[in-house]
C-alpha cells in the first residue's frame, strides 16, 4: 500500500466569507495541520453529461491516504499537476484506522 502512495496532494477545505451584498463567496484554503500528504489514486469510472449546452466529462477516483480525522466530504485535494479532486465520501479502509479511502470526482469541460 505504501508503495502505491506516490502522488503528492494538498488537502483543502471550503471557506465562506460575506460578499457585502447579503450573500457568501466560497474560497479554498489549505488545512491548518499537515495539508500535504501522499496518496494512491486510481480511476473508478467516467461519464459525460450535457450541462449548459456543453458536454462535461466526469470521472471518479478512489484515493487512499493515511488515516486522519479531519477529512470530510465537501473538501478537495489538488495534485502536483493542478488536478482538483472533489471529495464525495470518506471511509476507513477495511474498518481499520490505518488508511482512509476517499471517493472523489474530477470534472472537465
Closest by Cα among 5, 25, 3 to 16:
25
Confidence of residue 4 (pLDDT cuts 50, 70, 90): confident
- Helices vs strands, H then E, count in the chain: 0, 7
* pLDDT tens digits, 71-98: 999 999 999 999 999 999 999 988 788 9
What residue ranges do the domains of the chain occupy? Answer: 2-108
* pLDDT tens digits, 49-65: 666 677 766 789 999 99
Please state which of the four CATH numbers 3.40.50.2300, 2.40.10.270, 1.50.10.20, 2.120.10.30 is assigned to the domain occupying 2-108.
2.40.10.270
Instruction: Say if residues 77 and 11 touch (Cβ distance below 8 Å).
Output: yes
pTM flag (> 0.95): no
Q: Which three cell numbers stand for residue 55?
A: 458536454
Confidence of residue 18 (pLDDT cuts 50, 70, 90): confident
Give CA–CA dist 86/75, Å, rounded: 6
Amino acid at each position: 500500500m505504501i508503495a502505491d502512495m506516490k502522488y503528492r496532494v494538498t488537502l483543502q477545505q471550503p471557506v465562506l466569507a460575506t460578499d457585502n451584498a447579503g450573500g457568501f463567496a466560497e474560497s479554498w484554503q489549505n488545512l491548518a495541520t499537515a495539508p500535504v500528504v501522499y496518496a494512491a489514486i486510481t480511476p473508478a469510472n467516467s461519464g459525460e453529461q450535457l450541462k449548459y449546452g456543453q458536454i462535461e466529462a466526469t470521472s471518479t477516483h478512489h484515493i487512499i491516504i493515511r488515516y486522519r480525522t479531519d477529512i470530510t466530504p465537501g473538501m478537495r485535494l489538488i495534485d502536483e499537476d493542478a488536478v482538483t479532486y472533489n471529495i464525495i465520501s470518506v471511509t476507513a479502509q477495511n474498518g481499520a484506522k490505518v488508511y482512509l479511502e476517499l471517493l472523489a470526482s474530477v470534472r472537465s469541460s
